[in-house]
C-alpha cells in the first residue's frame, strides 16, 4: 500500500508542475510587467524598464517560474503590489478560516445526505421533500442562498448575526453562530449533488441479492439498512466528494464575500480586482496544488475502505 | 381466495408507457425556459420603464408604478430584472455553444482514434475536471478583462472538458457496437443502421449536456458579477444587482431577492431539462 | 427399446428415518402481483405438506412460480407492496408453537427467518455483502437469533465453516467475499443458513449457477448435512438430474399450479402428466446421439407468462396429448395411486395408452 501511495504522489508532481507553470506563464504573459501599474500613468519608458530589470520581469518565463517556485518553497511569495505587505503574511491568517468553513460545509452536506436518504421510514414523503431540496441546492447560486438566509435569519428573525467572523479565541458560541449561515450556504450545492448520487446508489444497493440474504437471516430492517445498504451506497459518494473539492473552493470564495469573512476567498477577490499579481499568483497556485492533493487523498481513502480495490 | 376452477379468461393488458422525453420534470424546465427567453427577447416591446433611467423615487417599495420597487438610483427593479435576462441568457448560451463546439470534436477525436492522442486528451480532461472552475475563471477574467464575450469564452473554456469526456464515452461505445455488428452483418448496411440508431442517442446526450452547461454558465457568470468581476455597469445584470442590493437588505430586500430568484429559476429551468432524474 | 428403459433411474442416497411428523403445511397458497391495476397470479392454490427429514423438490421452468413459493415461505414477499399472498403456511417451530407464516406479524416473521426456516439462493457471487468479512456476515446470522457473545458467535461461525468443508476456515473468516471462489461462497451461504439450526432449508436454484464439479460437491454436502441433522429441504430447481439425486418426493409446477406430485422414483418411472413426461424426455443424455432413432425432444412453445389469459388447462397449448375438452375445462388435482397427485383430464386414459403401447412394443 505504501508503495502505491508513493507512486501516486510521484505521478502527481509532474501534473502539479505542468498546471502551475501553465498558470504562471499565462498570468505573467498577459499581465506583463506590473511596473506600469505601479509607477502610474506618467512613468517614462526608462523608469518602467528599470523597474522591470529590478524585479526581474524581463527574464524568460521559465526562469521567472523556477525562481518563484524556489522562493515559494521557502515561504516567500513576494510582496503585494497594493499593500506592500508580504504576501505570506497576508495569506497565512486567512487559510484556517477557509479550511474550517469548507470542512463544516462538507460535513453538513454529507451528514444531511446520509440522514435524509437512509432511513427506511416514511419513504415517499421524505423522498419528495429531499428531491425538492436537492434540486434547489444545486440550482440556487451561493450568493442568492446566502442573501436569502441572511434576510430570513438575521434580518427578520434576528436569530443569527448577519455577517462577519469571530475567531475561536473570542468564544466558541459566538464563533459557531457566525459560521452557521455561511457553512449551510456553502453546503447546499453539495447536499444537492451528493443526495442525487447517494440515492441512486442506495436504491441500487437495495436491489442487490445480499439485501435479500440479510433479510433472510432474520436481521431487522434497520440493521439491513444501516449495516448492509448504507456502506455500499456511500462508497461512490466518497469519490464524488473528491471531485467536489475543486468547485468547493469556488463556492467558498463567493460565500466569504457574501458574509464578509476574512478568508482566502476574500483576499483573492480583492487581489483580482486590483490586479495584485503576486497575491493572485500565490493563491491560484496554492489552490491548484491543494485541490490536486485533496483528490489524491480522497482516492486513497476510497481505496482503503473498499476491500475490492487492490492497491498497487 | 382463488378457487381451483377460477377461469381467468380476461386478457391482461401490459402496463402502458408514457412517451419518452416528456416527463413532468422536463416540461417544467421547458416552461421556465420558454418564459425567461420570451421575456428576454420581448423586453424592449413590453412597455417597461427604461432599466437604466434613474429617478427621484429612491428605494421605493413595490407598488403600482414599480412592481418590484426601485433601487438606490431610482431605477425600476422589475424592469431591470427582465432586462437582466438578456445578458444572462446570452452569456449562458455562449458558454454552452463554446463548450459544445470545442468539446464535441475533441471528444470525437479522442474516442475515435484511441491510442496516444486519446491518452493525451484524457490526461488533459482529467486535469481540468478536478480543478476549481471559478478560480480559473476569475484568474483568466482578471487577465483578459470582463466583457460579456470574454466571460462566455472563459467559462466555456472551463466546461469543454466535461462535454468532451461525455462525447468520448459515447463514441467509444458506438465503436464497440459497430465492430460487433460489422463482424456479424454483411457489409455497409450494418454501419448505416447503427448510425441511424446511435446518432439520435448521442445527439440527445449532447443536447442534455448543452443544457446543463448553459445552466452552469448562467450560474457562474452571475457569481462572477456578484463578486464585482462580471459584466460592467450600467447593463442590468442579475449578479451585480444582488450585490448592490445586499447593502439595502434590511429595508429593500426585493432589490437582491428579485434578481437572485430570477437567476435561480433560470438555472433551474436549464438544469431540469438537461438532467436525468426521476 | 422402450421409453421405460431410457428413463433416468434415480440414484438416491438411502438413509434418514422414515418421515412421519409434519413440519410445514401449506394450504391454498396463492400469490398475486398487482401490476398497473391488473392482477397477475404467480402461484395458484398450492397445497403441500412437508414432513420432517424429507427432501422435496419443487420442479418447474422459469415463470412456474417455484421461486415465489420459496420467497413466500420466507416472508420476503412482504417487502413488496404490490404482492398479495393468500392461504396458510403452518410451520412447526423449534419452540413447539405452530405458526402460520403468512399471518404472523413482521416482527415474528423476522424472528423465524434464519431460525426456523432458512434459504439459500442461486447466485453465490452477489449473495454476500462485498464490504464485510465472511466472519462478520456469518456471525451476524448467528447473533440475530442466539444470545451469545460476539466471541462465541465467531467460534460457532468457524465451526460451521469448517464443517462445510472450507479449507482453512480461520483464514476465510477474515477474508472478503471477492477473495473466495464461487463454490466456497456457496458453502459460506449454506453455513449462514444452517448456523441457527433451522429445521427447514429452502434451496432456491442453489446449484444452478455453479459449474458441474462444484455442483456435485454441493449436492453431496447437502445430502450429508441432511442425513446428519434430519432437516427438511425444499429444493427448488429446474434440473431433473438434481431431483433424481436428492429428492424423496417431487412436486411439478406449471403456471403457478401443482400439476403432478409423486415420490421421485415413481415420477421418473411412470410420469402421468404430459408435461412431466415432456420434461423428462427433454433431458439430454450422454451418448444419446449415438442411439439410433433417438431425438432430443424439446417442448414446443414457450412457458406461459403470468400475464396470459387462461382458460382450461394451462398446458394445453403445448401439450401433445391435448383434446378439445382441455381447452375449456380446468382439471382439478386428483389422487393417482400411492401418494400421487395429478392435474390432467386424461391421465387415466393416457396411462392406459402408454401401458398398452409398451406392451405392444415387446411383441
pLDDT tens, N- to C-terminus, chain C (363 residues) = 333 333 332 223 333 334 468 899 999 999 988 877 777 888 888 999 999 989 999 998 887 888 999 999 999 998 888 898 999 999 999 888 899 999 999 999 999 999 999 999 988 888 999 989 999 999 999 999 989 999 999 999 999 998 888 888 999 999 999 888 888 899 999 999 998 889 999 999 988 888 888 888 888 888 988 888 889 999 999 888 889 988 999 999 988 889 999 999 988 888 888 888 888 887 776 665 565 555 666 777 766 665 565 678 888 888 888 888 888 888 888 888 888 998 888 888 888 888 888 788 776
Q: Which three cell numbers stand for residue B147?
A: 466583457
Co-location of C204 and C258 in the same domain: no
* C165 is a domain residue: yes
Q: What are the chain B neighbours of A287 within 8 Å (beta carbons)?
A: 132, 135
Contact between C113 and A210 using a beta-carbon 8 Å cutoff: no
Total domains present in chain C: 2
Nearest chain C residue to A234 by CA: give it.
C131
Which CATH number does the domain housing residue B82 bear?
A: 1.10.3720.10
| Res C307: pLDDT | 57
Which CATH number does the domain housing residue C145 bear?
A: 3.40.50.300
Contact between A216 and C126 using a beta-carbon 8 Å cutoff: no
How far apart (Å, rounded) are the C-alpha atoms in residues B73 and B58? 6
Contact between B135 and A155 using a beta-carbon 8 Å cutoff: no
Q: What are the chain A neighbours of C79 within 8 Å (beta carbons)?
A: 215
Judge whether residue B88 has pLDDT over 60: yes
Tell me which residue in C79, C132, C140 faces A217 most closely, judged by beta carbons: C140
Question: Model confidence over A216-269: pLDDT tens digits?
Answer: 999 998 899 889 988 888 888 888 888 888 888 888 989 998 888 888 888 888
Contact partners for chain A, using 3 or more CB pairs closer than 8 A, are B, C
Residue A80 pLDDT level (bands cut at 50, 70, 90): confident
Contact between C144 and A217 using a beta-carbon 8 Å cutoff: yes
* Of B146-150, B268-272, C259-263, the least confident: B146-150
* C288 is a domain residue: no
Count of CB atoms situated within 10 Å of the CB of C182: 14
Co-location of C178 and C324 in the same domain: no
* B8 is a domain residue: no
Co-location of C104 and C226 in the same domain: yes
Co-location of C107 and C195 in the same domain: yes
* B162 is a domain residue: yes
Tell me which residue in A218, A220, A232 faces C131 most closely, judged by beta carbons: A232
Q: What share of chain A has pLDDT > 90, as a percent?
A: 12
Q: Which three cell numbers stand for residue B185?
A: 452483418
* C29 is a domain residue: yes
Judge whether residue A150 has pLDDT over 80: yes
C307 at interface of B, judged by CB pairs closer than 8 A = yes
β-sheet bridge partners, residue C200: C117, C232
Judge whether residue A307 has pLDDT over 90: no
Which has more pLDDT, A213 or C358? A213
Contact between A246 and B130 using a beta-carbon 8 Å cutoff: yes
Residue A108 pLDDT level (bands cut at 50, 70, 90): very high
* B98 is a domain residue: yes
Nearest alpha-carbon partner for B132 in C59, A285, C186: A285
Count of CB atoms situated within 10 Å of the CB of C207: 24
| Res B17: pLDDT | 40
| Res B234: pLDDT | 72
Co-location of C223 and C261 in the same domain: no
Co-location of C66 and C97 in the same domain: yes
Please identify which residue in the block is written with the cell numbers 492533493: A293
Tell me which residue in C28, C40, C309 faces B9 most closely, judged by beta carbons: C309
Which has more pLDDT, B199 or C72? C72
Please identify which residue in the block is written with the cell numbers 455488428: B181
Please identify which residue in the block is written with the cell numbers 446511435: B198
The CATH code of the domain at A94-267 is: 1.10.3720.10
Contact between B2 and C45 using a beta-carbon 8 Å cutoff: yes
Co-location of C99 and C201 in the same domain: yes
C143 at interface of A, judged by CB pairs closer than 8 A = no
Nearest chain B residue to C32 by CA: give it.
B2
Q: Which three cell numbers stand for residue B8?
A: 381467468
Co-location of C60 and C136 in the same domain: yes
Contact between C332 and B4 using a beta-carbon 8 Å cutoff: yes
Give the DSSP letter of residue B10.
S
How far apart (Å, rounded) are the C-alpha atoms in residues A97 and A110? 20
Question: Model confidence over B61-73: pLDDT tens digits?
Answer: 777 777 777 777 7
Question: Which of B1, B3, B4, B10 to mutate: most C Cβ within 10 Å?
Answer: B4
Contact between A218 and C115 using a beta-carbon 8 Å cutoff: yes
* C237 is a domain residue: yes
Q: How close A144 comes to chain B (CA, Å)?
A: 5
Q: How close B150 comes to chain A (CA, Å)?
A: 14
Q: What are the chain C neighbours of A228 within 8 Å (beta carbons)?
A: 129, 132
Please identify, among C203, C223, C247, the residue that sits at the C-terminal boundary of a domain: C247
| Res C49: pLDDT | 92
| Res A107: pLDDT | 93
Co-location of C35 and C113 in the same domain: yes
ipTM for the complex shown: 0.82
Cα B125 to Cα A242, B5, B61, distances in angstroms: 16, 66, 49
Q: Domain containing C54: what range?
A: 15-247
* B207 is a domain residue: yes
Q: What are the chain B neighbours of A246 within 8 Å (beta carbons)?
A: 129-133
How far apart (Å, rounded) are the C-alpha atoms in residues B234 and B71? 13
Co-location of C103 and C140 in the same domain: yes
Tell me which residue in C30, C38, C44 faces B12 most closely, judged by beta carbons: C38
Q: How close B23 comes to chain C (CA, Å)?
A: 18
Q: Domain containing B88: what range?
A: 24-52+64-274
A134: number of CA atoms within 13 Å, CB side?
24
Q: Are strands C200-204 and C117-120 parallel, antiparallel or unpaired?
A: parallel
| Res B2: pLDDT | 34
Cα B120 to Cα A9, B67, B99, B101, distances in angstroms: 20, 55, 19, 19
Per-residue b or e along B180-211, where b marks 16 or more CB atoms closer than 10 Å to that residue's CB: eeeeeeeeeebeeebeeebeeebeebbebbbb
| Res B15: pLDDT | 39
DSSP, residue by residue, chain B: ---TT----SPPPPPP-PPTT--HHHHHHHHHHHHHHHHHHHGGGTTPPPTT---S-TTPPS-SSSTT-B-TTS-BHHHHHHHHHHHHHHHHHHHHHHHHHHHHHHHHHHHHH-HHHHHHHHHHHHHHHHS-HHHHHHHHHHHH---HHHHHHHHHHHHHHHHHHHHHHHHHHHHHHHHHHHHHS-THHHHHHHHHHHHHHHHHHHHHHHHHHHHHHHHHHHHHHHTT-SSPTTS--HHHHHHHHHTTTTT-THHHHHHHHHHHHHHHHHHHHH----
Q: How close A85 comes to chain C (CA, Å)?
A: 53
Judge whether residue B168 has pLDDT over 70: yes
Question: Which of C129, C135, C189 to mutate: most A Cβ within 10 Å?
Answer: C129
- Residues for chain A: how many in total? 312
* B220 is a domain residue: yes
Q: How close C38 comes to chain B (CA, Å)?
A: 7
Contact partners for chain C, using 3 or more CB pairs closer than 8 A, are A, B
Q: Judge contact between B39 and B85, C-beta under 8 A.
A: yes
Total domains present in chain B: 1
Nearest chain C residue to A214 by CA: give it.
C141
Nearest alpha-carbon partner for C55 in C100, C97, C6, C15: C15
Tell me which residue in B143, B223, B260 faces A30 most closely, judged by beta carbons: B143
Count of CB atoms situated within 10 Å of the CB of C291: 11
Which has more pLDDT, B3 or A69? A69
Amino acid at each position: 500500500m505504501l508503495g502505491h501511495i508513493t507512486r501516486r504522489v510521484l505521478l502527481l508532481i509532474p501534473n502539479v508542475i505542468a498546471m502551475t507553470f501553465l498558470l504562471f506563464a499565462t498570468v505573467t504573459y498577459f499581465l506583463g510587467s506590473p511596473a506600469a501599474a505601479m509607477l502610474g500613468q506618467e512613468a517614462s519608458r526608462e523608469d518602467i524598464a528599470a523597474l522591470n530589470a529590478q524585479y526581474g520581469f524581463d527574464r524568460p518565463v521559465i526562469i521567472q517560474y523556477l525562481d518563484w517556485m524556489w522562493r515559494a518553497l521557502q515561504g516567500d511569495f513576494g510582496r503585494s503590489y497594493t499593500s506592500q505587505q508580504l504576501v505570506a503574511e497576508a495569506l497565512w491568517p486567512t487559510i484556517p478560516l477557509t479550511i474550517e468553513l469548507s470542512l463544516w460545509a462538507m460535513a453538513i452536506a454529507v451528514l444531511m445526505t446520509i440522514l435524509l436518504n437512509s432511513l427506511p421510514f416514511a419513504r415517499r414523503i421524505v423522498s419528495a421533500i429531499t428531491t425538492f431540496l436537492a434540486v434547489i441546492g444545486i440550482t440556487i447560486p451561493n450568493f442568492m442562498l446566502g442573501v436569502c438566509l441572511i434576510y430570513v435569519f438575521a434580518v427578520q428573525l434576528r436569530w443569527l448575526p448577519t455577517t462577519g467572523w469571530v475567531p475561536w479565541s473570542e468564544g466558541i458560541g459566538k464563533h459557531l453562530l457566525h459560521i452557521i449561515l455561511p457553512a449551510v450556504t456553502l453546503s447546499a450545492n453539495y447536499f444537492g449533488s451528493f443526495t442525487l448520487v447517494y440515492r441512486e446508489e442506495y436504491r441500487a444497493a437495495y436491489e442487490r441479492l445480499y439485501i435479500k440474504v440479510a433479510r433472510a437471516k432474520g436481521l431487522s430492517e434497520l440493521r439491513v439498512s444501516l449495516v448492509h445498504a448504507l456502506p455500499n451506497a456511500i462508497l461512490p459518494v466518497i469519490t464524488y466528494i473528491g471531485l467536489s473539492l475543486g468547485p468547493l473552493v469556488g463556492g467558498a470564495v463567493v460565500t466569504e464575500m457574501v458574509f464578509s469573512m476574512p478568508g482566502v476567498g476574500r483576499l483573492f477577490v480583492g487581489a483580482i480586482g486590483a490586479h495584485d499579481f503576486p497575491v493572485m499568483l500565490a493563491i491560484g497556485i496554492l489552490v491548484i496544488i491543494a485541490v490536486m492533493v485533496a483528490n489524491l487523498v480522497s482516492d486513497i481513502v476510497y481505496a482503503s475502505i473498499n476491500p475490492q480495490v487492490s492497491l498497487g | 381466495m382463488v378457487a381451483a376452477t377460477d377461469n381467468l379468461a380476461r386478457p391482461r393488458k401490459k402496463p402502458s408507457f408514457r412517451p419518452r422525453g416528456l416527463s413532468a420534470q422536463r416540461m417544467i424546465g421547458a416552461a421556465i425556459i420558454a418564459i425567461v427567453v420570451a421575456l428576454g427577447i420581448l423586453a424592449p416591446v413590453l412597455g417597461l420603464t427604461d432599466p437604466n433611467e434613474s429617478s427621484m423615487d429612491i428605494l421605493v417599495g413595490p407598488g403600482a408604478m414599480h412592481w418590484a420597487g426601485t433601487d438606490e438610483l431610482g431605477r425600476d427593479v422589475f424592469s431591470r430584472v427582465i432586462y437582466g435576462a438578456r445578458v444572462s441568457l446570452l452569456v449562458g448560451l455562449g458558454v454552452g455553444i463554446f463548450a459544445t463546439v470545442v468539446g464535441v470534436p475533441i471528444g470525437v477525436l479522442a474516442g475515435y482514434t484511441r491510442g496516444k492522442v486519446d491518452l493525451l486528451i484524457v490526461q488533459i480532461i482529467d486535469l481540468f475536471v478536478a480543478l476549481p472552475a471559478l478560480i480559473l475563471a476569475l484568474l483568466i477574467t482578471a487577465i483578459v478583462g470582463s466583457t460579456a464575450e470574454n466571460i462566455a469564452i472563459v467559462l466555456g473554456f472551463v466546461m469543454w472538458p466535461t462535454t468532451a469526456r461525455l462525447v468520448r464515452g459515447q463514441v467509444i461505445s458506438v465503436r464497440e457496437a459497430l465492430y460487433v455488428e460489422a463482424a456479424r452483418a454483411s457489409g455497409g448496411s450494418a454501419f448505416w443502421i447503427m448510425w441511424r440508431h446511435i446518432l439520435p442517442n448521442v445527439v440527445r446526450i449532447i443536447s442534455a449536456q448543452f443544457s446543463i452547461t448553459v445552466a452552469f454558465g448562467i450560474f457562474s457568470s452571475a457569481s462572477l458579477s456578484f463578486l464585482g468581476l462580471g459584466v460592467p455597469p450600467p447593463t442590468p445584470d442579475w449578479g451585480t444587482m444582488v450585490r448592490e442590493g445586499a447593502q439595502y437588505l434590511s429595508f429593500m430586500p426585493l432589490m437582491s431577492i428579485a434578481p437572485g430568484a430570477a437567476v435561480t429559476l433560470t438555472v433551474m429551468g436549464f438544469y431540469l431539462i438537461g438532467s436525468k432524474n426521476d | 427399446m422402450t421409453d421405460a428403459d431410457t428413463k433416468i433411474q434415480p440414484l438416491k442416497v438411502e438413509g434418514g428415518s422414515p418421515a412421519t411428523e409434519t413440519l410445514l403445511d401449506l394450504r391454498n397458497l396463492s400469490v398475486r402481483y398487482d401490476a398497473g391495476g391488473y392482477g397477475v397470479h404467480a402461484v395458484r392454490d398450492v397445497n403441500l405438506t412437508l414432513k420432517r427429514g424429507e427432501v422435496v423438490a419443487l420442479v418447474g421452468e422459469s415463470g412456474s412460480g417455484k421461486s415465489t413459493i420459496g420467497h413466500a415461505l420466507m416472508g420476503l414477499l412482504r417487502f413488496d407492496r404490490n404482492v398479495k399472498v393468500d392461504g396458510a403456511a403452518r410451520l412447526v417451530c423449534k419452540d413447539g408453537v405452530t405458526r402460520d407464516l403468512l399471518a404472523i406479524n413482521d416482527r415474528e416473521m423476522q424472528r423465524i427467518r434464519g431460525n426456523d426456516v432458512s434459504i439459500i439462493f442461486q447466485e453465490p457471487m452477489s449473495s454476500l455483502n462485498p464490504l464485510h468479512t465472511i466472519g462478520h456476515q456469518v456471525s451476524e446470522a448467528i447473533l440475530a437469533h442466539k444470545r451469545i457473545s460476539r466471541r462465541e458467535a465467531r467460534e460457532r461461525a468457524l465451526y460451521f465453516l469448517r464443517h462445510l468443508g472450507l479449507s482453512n476456515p480461520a483464514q476465510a473468516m477474515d477474508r472478503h467475499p471477492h477473495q473466495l471462489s464461487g463454490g466456497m461462497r456457496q458453502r459460506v451461504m449454506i453455513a449462514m443458513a444452517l448456523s441457527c439450526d433451522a429445521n427447514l432449508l429452502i434451496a432456491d436454484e442453489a446449484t444452478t449457477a455453479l459449474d458441474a464439479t462444484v455442483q456435485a460437491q454441493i449436492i453431496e454436502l447437502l445430502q450429508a448435512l441432511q442425513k446428519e441433522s434430519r432437516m427438511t429441504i425444499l429444493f427448488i430447481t429446474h434440473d431433473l438430474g438434481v431431483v433424481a439425486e436428492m429428492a424423496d418426493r417431487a412436486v411439478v409446477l406449471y403456471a403457478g399450479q401443482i400439476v403432478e406430485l409423486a415420490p421421485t422414483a415413481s415420477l421418473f418411472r411412470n410420469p402421468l402428466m404430459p408435461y412431466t413426461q415432456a420434461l423428462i424426455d427433454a433431458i439430454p443424455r450422454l451418448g444419446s446421439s449415438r442411439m439410433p432413432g433417438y431425438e432430443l425432444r424439446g417442448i414446443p412453445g414457450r412457458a406461459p407468462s403470468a400475464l396470459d389469459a387462461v382458460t382450461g388447462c394451462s398446458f394445453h397449448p403445448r401439450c401433445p396429448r391435448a383434446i378439445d375438452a382441455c381447452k375449456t375445462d380446468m382439471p382439478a388435482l386428483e389422487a393417482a395411486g400411492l401418494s400421487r397427485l395429478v392435474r390432467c383430464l386424461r391421465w387415466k386414459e393416457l396411462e392406459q395408452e402408454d401401458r398398452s403401447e409398451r406392451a405392444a412394443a415387446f411383441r
